[in-house]
Every structure is written in C-alpha cells, then in structure tokens.
Structure 1
Amino acid sequence: MSDVNSYVIRVAKMFDGVKMRGPAAITVTDGVISDVDHTGGVPAGHERVVDLGPDCCLLPGLIDSHVHLAFDAGPDPVAALARTSDAELLDHMRNAARSALQAGITTVRDLGDRGYLTVTLAEEFGQQPHLGPHVLPAGPPLTTPDGHCHFFGGEVRGTEALRAAVRERHARGCAVVKIMVSGGNMTPGSVAPHTSQYSLEEVGAVVQEAHRLGLPVAAHAHGVTAIRDAIEAGVDTLEHVTFLTANGSEPQPDLLAAVARSQSFVSLTLGHDPRFPLPDHPAVVSQAKIILGASVDLHRLGAKVVFGSDAGIGSFKPHDVLPYAVAQAVELGIPTLDALASVTSIAAAACRVEDRKGRITVGADADFLAVNGDPEHDPAALRNVEAVFRAGVRVR
C-alpha cells in the first residue's frame, strides 16, 4: 500500500477519538486523512478500497504518553542499561518501538533515555514513518546528582544550571522536558519516592525556560510536596501522582481538588501484562488500592486524565502494554469512552500533537488501529488487532 497515493478505508464502526460512530469511509491521501464519510459510502472515483469487514472497529492510533524505550522490560532494566553500548541500545530501542507499533501504539512520548538516542530514533522514523511510531523524545531527564534515574546522564542542580539544561534539550530537538521533582523506586541509593529532589524555585525555573522556548514540561511527582510544587510551577503533565508521604499514599481532598483544577494533564501510570507477575514490594502492594482509588477520584473531579504505561520498567511492562491500561481503567470505574479518549484525543492534547494525532478527522495523520470486536463494550478487543496503519501505510 506504500505506493498508493490515495485510497479509502471502509469500516463498520469507528471511534473518532471522542465518540463511537457507525459505518464510515475514510479517505487517505499522502498519509493524511483527506475525507471522512459517516455513511460508509465510498467517494466516487476511488478504485482502491480497504474493507475491514463487519466485525471491525477503527480507532485513532493509540498514544502512550509515558514510555522508556531504553529500558528492556526485563527483570533488571537498570543493570541491563549499564552493560549495553549506545549502538546496541539504539538497536534495542528500535525493536521496542516497533513492538509498540504492532500493538497499534502509533505515538510514544519517551520520558527518559541516555545520550539523546530517542532524538536519533525520532529522526529515523520521521523519514520512514512506517518503520516505527511517532516518537516524542525528552532526552535524559533532569535529576539531582545521584538522584532518581541519574544513570541517564541528566544530573543538574540550581536554577541557572537547570535553565541551561532546558536550552540544551531544546537545541538537541527534544519535544518535551522531563524533570524528576521527587524520588523514585528504580534507583538504588537515591532519595525515597515521597521526598522532593527540587525546590519550587527550581521547578519554576525549568517551566519558565521551557515555556519560553515552546516546550512542555513533564514532572515525575510521587510525593505530596512534589505534586503541590509541580502544579504551582505550572508543569504541563504530572506523571504518576501517587500522593506519597513518609506514611504511605495519602491523597488529601484539597490536593486532589487542586490537581483537578490545575491546567496540568494528569498522566496516570496504568497497564500491566497479566502474563508477568507484578512487583511484590510490600509498600507498593499495600498502597496500590489507595493509589488506584485516587486515580478514579481525579477523573471524577474533572482532571484531564491520560494513561502512560511507563513501558520498559519491568517484565510486566513490555512496550506493547498500553491496551491493557484501558481495560484496567474501565475495571476501576472510568467510563469506556473516556478511557479510550485518554489514549487518543486527550493524550494528543497532553503531548501537544492534537493538530495531527488522536482523532479521525480531516487533516490528521492517517495513524489507525483496527480491532476485531467492540471496544466500547469489551475493552479487551483492543488487543485483538486486525490492522495497524502508520502515516497511511498498513504495517500490520
């Protein structure tokens, strides 16, 4: 199909990024949607028609707003990263990205790599989009010396040094700036996840400099203080948002409401492959129900919720795991169409690509996922893939 300039996809059912609709015929020209007919009729003059059959539902290609292509989704991704050369790592990242694409994940926002390798990958796929998803790179995340994920090489402290680091990421071609406002779970010897790594002044300096240059800021924020500082500083997306304190997860009503009122998108960490065991860390297990309950509360309060899988951080988080996040969200009580929007149209807005991604509408990129079944009533249908299109080219 790569040599066809224009063709029509006909489908019995379609989720356009907002609503579920009946029959549709979508015209694709030069990798972009040029027409959408909601009657399912094929426009006159089109000889090439891809009829996906009566049991298929077409969706915009899924968007995973939080992945780590540099992590191998193995039992110890940090150790694996340390013993992998840049050339080997780039090859692994290509394969990880392609596995995401085969699952219908046509856009990924990578929130932490080594040596700006995701920028290289983004450039490769930009020239040959059928080879991988659209990659939105952050480069090495900003973190404190010996801080969370310091092994990526983004250690920096102080407002002026942070501003300079933001300028470097802009100059390198990053699409987003990632800052580790709090500690995390994967870095031996770093501060606890509930502890802040940066002050409000430092986070504010990063946001001001990034926004001056036209870049959004994604804030890794587990701790209550880190979450408060991040929303006060005006970050664009809050990652994880687990409301941790020294005593565990404590999602206080006032902070839940403040997050929901803020202009920040909330990137909830959902999705795991049930074929692999979840971490048995006692603190994680005991707090999971509270954290997941807070996620539902944020949606109920009107927060702009997207799902980021954090793919790559363990065996239970392979790079094609995002479809499981939708089913998990529905099980928690989030309405199915809202969950589907959280990995399409809302995710596109969070990633600042809403002008071309996340919707089936004229002018958008022809990135599609076609599944057998009805994902509105059975979210597991997202894993029953019939076809994947990237920039108009059928890749599965």
Structure 2
Amino acid sequence: MAEGTYIGGFTDHHVHLQLVDPLRLEDSLLGRVLDLGSDPAQISRFARVVAERFGDEPGGVAISYAGAFLTPPGGYPSDRAWAPEGSVREVGTLAEAATAIAEMKAAGASVIKIASNSTAGPVFSDEMIDGIARTADRLGLPVVAHAEGPGEAQRMPGLGVRALAHAPFSERLSDAEVSRQAGRIAWISTLAIHDGDAREIAIDNVRRFHAHGGTIRYGTDMGNGDLPVDLNPAEIAALREAGVRGAALIRALAPTAASVERRFLLPAQDADPFETVPAVPVRPPSAG
C-alpha cells in the first residue's frame, strides 16, 4: 500500500472558464475552481453542466464564480479582444453597480470581481470601490480586485476589498505596506503568468507577504494564454521560489473534501510533496 496522506482535489482561485474547455477539468487534480470574469449566464450554465455530470456524488469539480467584471465606463478589460461578450459590466454610478451586483448574485455568484487597472484606462474612485464593497457585503459577496498600476494594490485593503486577484506585480511594495496588507487582505498568486521584472517583483512581494503571515491562495489565471487546465507545475514552482512550501503550500492550494472517487496521494517521504513528486490521483483501498 502506498504511504502518504489522502486529500481531496486542489483549488484554483483564479480561472476563466470561457477561455478553456471546462470539461477538461474532470481529468485534472483540481477539485474546485473560482472563475473571476465570465458572462454570468454562460458560467452558471457551465457550473450546472459540470455538476449534473456527477449528480449527487461528492467527487468531481465544483465551480464557483464572480460573473462579469465590474469596471468604470471604458475601463479594463472592456476593450480587450479576449474578453467574451457579457463578461464585463461598465458601471458609472453606485446605483448601476448595485444593479449589476444583484444580477451576479441572482446568477449564483459567490464573489464580485472589480477591475482597477490604471495602466489600461479609468479606474473607480475610492468612494465607488468602498460603496461596491459595502453593497456586495450586504449580499454576502466578498469583493476580489484586479489591481494593476502604481498605487492600485495599496488602495484595496482600506476600501473593503477582501482579496487581490493577482499578487502585486506593478511595483515592489514597501515592507510597511506588505505588513499592513498581511493582516487585512488575501492575495491570489498567479505568479507564473509573469516574466522579467514583473515576475521578480511579484515573487519578492509574495515572499515578504508570506513571511508576515499573509494569506496566499493558489491561482493561475487559467485561460490567460496556454496554461494547463489542471494543477499548474509552473505556479507551484513559483510559489516555492517565494518561500511558500510544505504545509503553507497545502493551505494555499486549499484542498477540497476528499471522496473515494476523487482523492490524491501526497507521498509521505517528501517534507514538501511538490518539491520532487506531484500529487497523484488514486483510488484508496476500501476499509477492511
């Protein structure tokens, strides 16, 4: 019998299922994904189709989602060719935002995604972000922000945003800022989508954020280029480079509840199971 620990599938906290074939998730090491930007009608349909393929079984892949990006008129990613129709809602007032948030909630969203990319167009004011976060909170929907450009990541913790969709990569945050963020907001990693200076900045920020006790969540931005529809070895390697290893890495991957049909074995011989051997899917021996 193989020695190790059986756990459930892993969680990717940042995917875009309209940009991949979601049925490929069935053969992956993932047990849950969080879609952070899709047409609400399409992503809710994907979630139903995938759920129906497993019926009442505890295995399979659970799909959670935000629905459409909320962004100011003309804001990112409203002008991007890769953004599917319906995946972006441009809102200019808090009343418009509240209507969009209620629509996402009705479509089954569990979070709200806002875009705040000052390198690619206008961004929401502090007052607007705070209002969106308060409105979403009343409906039980935490806000996740795409924060890009100088000063954007620094704005988010004080405005009610619960998580950054990407570990900050536009600039190196000061040690004081990293410490402040560590106690107030989670970062979704997405380190492997970067190269050059952006990668070095993001890894340095994550290394210090993790050292201060900050919450890191594994996420890949699946759909952004040719990324695996599965656990991403490049993202695991980048997290390890940033010092997120062993038990901390398992926490970042947030394993889902294990089932007989969908369990994975972490080899007992490795202090960090991802250092040399990936988790492998297995059917554990039955009791007795």
TM normalised by structure 2 equals 0.83
Aligned equivalents of 1:257, 1:104: Cα separation in 2 = 33
Structure 1 residues 351-377: Cα deviation after superposition (integer angstroms, max 9, x where no partner): xxxxxx3x56xxx99853235675533
Residues 245 and 272 in structure 2, CA contact (< 8 A), matched pair in contact too:
no
Q: Which residue of 2 aligns with 1:141?
A: 69
Structure that is richer in strand per residue: 1
Q: Which residue of 1 aligns with 2:183?
A: 261
Q: Find the partner of 2:16 among 61, 68, 74.
A: 68
Residues 65 and 307 in structure 1, CA contact (< 8 A), matched pair in contact too:
yes
Q: Which residue of 1 aligns with 2:35?
A: 110
Q: Which residue of 1 aligns with 2:98?
A: 163
Q: 1:296 offset after TM fit, Å?
A: 0.7
Structure 1 residues 158-207: Cα deviation after superposition (integer angstroms, max 9, x where no partner): 222112111111112111111112257xxxxx33xxxx611111111111
Q: 1:324 offset after TM fit, Å?
A: 3.9
Secondary structure at the residue paired with 1:241? Answer: coil
Aligned equivalents of 1:338, 1:178: Cα separation in 2 = 26
Rate the CA distance shift 1:339–1:314 in 2: closer, same or farther, 3 A. Answer: same
- The root-mean-square deviation of aligned C-alpha atoms, in Å, is 2.8
The question of 1:369 aligning with 2:274 is answered no
Residues 60 and 262 in structure 2, CA contact (< 8 A), matched pair in contact too:
no
The structure with more radius of gyration: 1
Q: Which residue of 2 aligns with 1:59?
A: 7
Rate the CA distance shift 1:119–1:388 in 2: closer, same or farther, 3 A. Answer: farther
Residues 12 and 218 in structure 2, CA contact (< 8 A), matched pair in contact too:
yes
Residues 122 and 136 in structure 1, CA contact (< 8 A), matched pair in contact too:
yes
Aligned equivalents of 1:309, 1:153: Cα separation in 2 = 20
Q: Find the partner of 1:331 among 241, 244, 248.
A: 241
Q: 1:310 offset after TM fit, Å?
A: 0.7
Q: 1:380 offset after TM fit, Å?
A: 5.0
Residues 181 and 230 in structure 1, CA contact (< 8 A), matched pair in contact too:
no
Q: Which residue of 2 aligns with 1:200?
A: 126
Letter in 2 for 1:161: E
Q: Which residue of 1 aligns with 2:208?
A: 297
Q: 1:384 offset after TM fit, Å?
A: 5.3
Aligned residues: 274
Rate the CA distance shift 1:170–1:378 in 2: closer, same or farther, 3 A. Answer: closer
Q: Find the partner of 2:191 among 251, 256, 270.
A: 270
Residues 150-299 of structure 1: matches in 2 within 5 Å?
A: 150=78, 151=83, 152-183=87-118, 190-191=120-121, 197-242=123-168, 244=170, 249-262=171-184, 264-271=185-192, 284-299=195-210
Residues 326 and 340 in structure 1, CA contact (< 8 A), matched pair in contact too:
no
Rate the CA distance shift 1:261–1:128 in 2: closer, same or farther, 3 A. Answer: same
Aligned equivalents of 1:108, 1:388: Cα separation in 2 = 22
Instruction: Give the gaps of 5 or more residues in structure 2.
Output: none
Rate the CA distance shift 1:366–1:321 in 2: closer, same or farther, 3 A. Answer: closer
Rate the CA distance shift 1:323–1:168 in 2: closer, same or farther, 3 A. Answer: same
Secondary structure at the residue paired with 2:19? Answer: coil
Residues 163 and 206 in structure 1, CA contact (< 8 A), matched pair in contact too:
yes
